[in-house]
Amino acid sequence: MSNYYVRRTARVFATIFAVATLTFGLIRLLPGGPFTQLRAQLLRQGVPASEVDARIANLQNINPNAPLWQQYLDYMSSVAQGNFGESISLGEPVALIIAEAVPWTVFVVLVSTILMFAFGIFLGSLQAYWEGSRFDKAFSGLSIALMSIPFYVVAVISLYVFAYQWGWLPTAGTVGASVEKELSIPFLLSALEHSILPIFSYTLGGIGGQALAMRGNSIQVLGNDYVRVARLRGLADRRIATRYVARNAILPMYTGFLLLLGFRLSGTVILEQIFSYTGLGYYMFAALKANDYPLMMATFLVITVALIVGVYIADLTYSKIDPRISAGGSDEAY
């Protein structure tokens, strides 16, 4: 069994390595390549033609005149050291920008995903408990309706209503302009105020799907013999609901939770753009618009690594949480 963990861990590094290679390839795929645009830009800024190559090498850790394999090795080794070069459009080290952006994105994604699951599980289990009732029917309909609303529609509408029309909440940014960036109460309050709308719009649409999933799981569990036996034993309803039903119904959703965390990171590209919330997705989009390849590739890599780690944790812990599942599995070839 330990062999499985070793292999699984090795695959994480192999995947990260492969994605880093892919990003290297993608830079070269983009129209005009990474250097044409940058060269033109530098020349426009009045950098003498003789120094342009040196500046590019400095910005991207890649010598544009070196053979491709040399460029590849340079790129990979600097990425391995966490050195992503310097952002072209912002003129700052990419690592610095990302370090500033990541906490905001993680905060919004984590809080909204947890809220989404909490509401989904709560509503879903109530629906399953009163299966077939008017409450169940109404909320199944509501869940389907919620599932069909993309989060950016919620975002635009809530921005329109709460921020622009009623002016209750700020329209953009992560904290107020006048607030010092230090750990203090005004800072936290301002950060909270700015994050309400992004979190709200990223949570609402997801509740429907989770509620339906939880409802389905719970109904399945409720039909099991051990639940009937528990009733016959005269256990308290509360104990049956939490220990016997909820636990087993939530179990299959656990992997989904970790995977969703990763997937939802990439959705922030749209979310943070709408709220001008300067997180990872915001910078990724800004970099894309400005042809800022170093920043773009770094954000891409960071999101990918988060996704890979999420899947990895899900895979490793699932067999621990649910002993019925054994890691690995049969592998006979036909």
Partner 1 sequence: MKRTEEDDPRTLVTDGAGVDWRGSSTSSVTVTREERLREIYEESVRKPFIVAWSDSRTRLGLLIIGFYFLIALVAILGLWREPSTSQAPRYLMLFENMNYPLGTTASGTDLAALIIHSTPDILLMVTSGGLWATGIAVFVGTVAGYKGGSVGRVLMSISDFVMAIPGLPLVMILAITFNPKNPILLGIIININYWAGLGRSIHSQVLTIRENNYVEASRTMGVSTPRIILKDVVPNIMPYVTVNFVFAARYVVFASIGLFFLGVLPYSDQNWGVTLNFAYSGGALFSWSAAHWLLVPMVAIIGLSIGLILLGQGMDRVFNPRVRTRLAGESESTAAVDEKDTGMTEVL
Give contact residues for partner 1 (rule: CB under 8 A): 11, 15, 18-19, 22, 26, 29-31, 140, 144-145, 147-153, 156-157, 159-160, 164-165, 205-206, 209, 212-213, 215-217, 219-220, 252-253, 255-257, 259-260, 262-267, 269-270, 273, 284-285, 288, 296, 299-300, 303-304, 307-308, 311, 329-334
Q: Rounded CA gap, 221 and 153, in Å?
A: 35
Nearer to partner 1, 107 or 257 (CB): 257
- Shortest Å distance, C-beta 65 to partner 1: 24
CB 155 within 8 A of CB 271: yes
Nearer to partner 1, 52 or 113 (CB): 113
- Shortest Å distance, C-beta 40 to partner 1: 17
Q: Rounded CA gap, 105 and 100, in Å?
A: 10
Nearer to partner 1, 119 or 151 (CB): 151
Nearer to partner 1, 202 or 244 (CB): 202
CB 184 within 8 A of CB 114: no
Nearer to partner 1, 43 or 161 (CB): 161
Establish how many alpha carbons lie within 13 A of residue 301's alpha carbon, considering only the half-sphere containing its beta carbon.
29
307-323 in b/e burial notation, b at 16+ Cβ within 10 A?
bbebbbbbbeebeeeee
- Shortest Å distance, C-beta 2 to partner 1: 19
Nearer to partner 1, 174 or 291 (CB): 291
The DSSP H or E segment spanning 181 is none
- Shortest Å distance, C-beta 181 to partner 1: 27
Residue 26, Cα to own-chain centre: how many angstroms? 21
Q: Rounded CA gap, 106 and 268, in Å?
A: 10
- Shortest Å distance, C-beta 184 to partner 1: 32
- Shortest Å distance, C-beta 246 to partner 1: 15
Nearer to partner 1, 63 or 266 (CB): 266
- Shortest Å distance, C-beta 36 to partner 1: 14
User: What is the DSSP code (8-state) at residue 31?
Assistant: T
Which structure tokens are listed for 303? 């999101």
Sequence-distant (≥ 6) Cβ neighbours of residue 268 within 8 angstroms? 105, 108, 109, 279, 280, 281, 282
Nearer to partner 1, 52 or 307 (CB): 307
74-93 in b/e burial notation, b at 16+ Cβ within 10 A?
bbeeebeeeebbbbbbbeeb
Burial of 162 (0-12, 13-18, 19+ CB in 10 A): middle
- Shortest Å distance, C-beta 98 to partner 1: 14
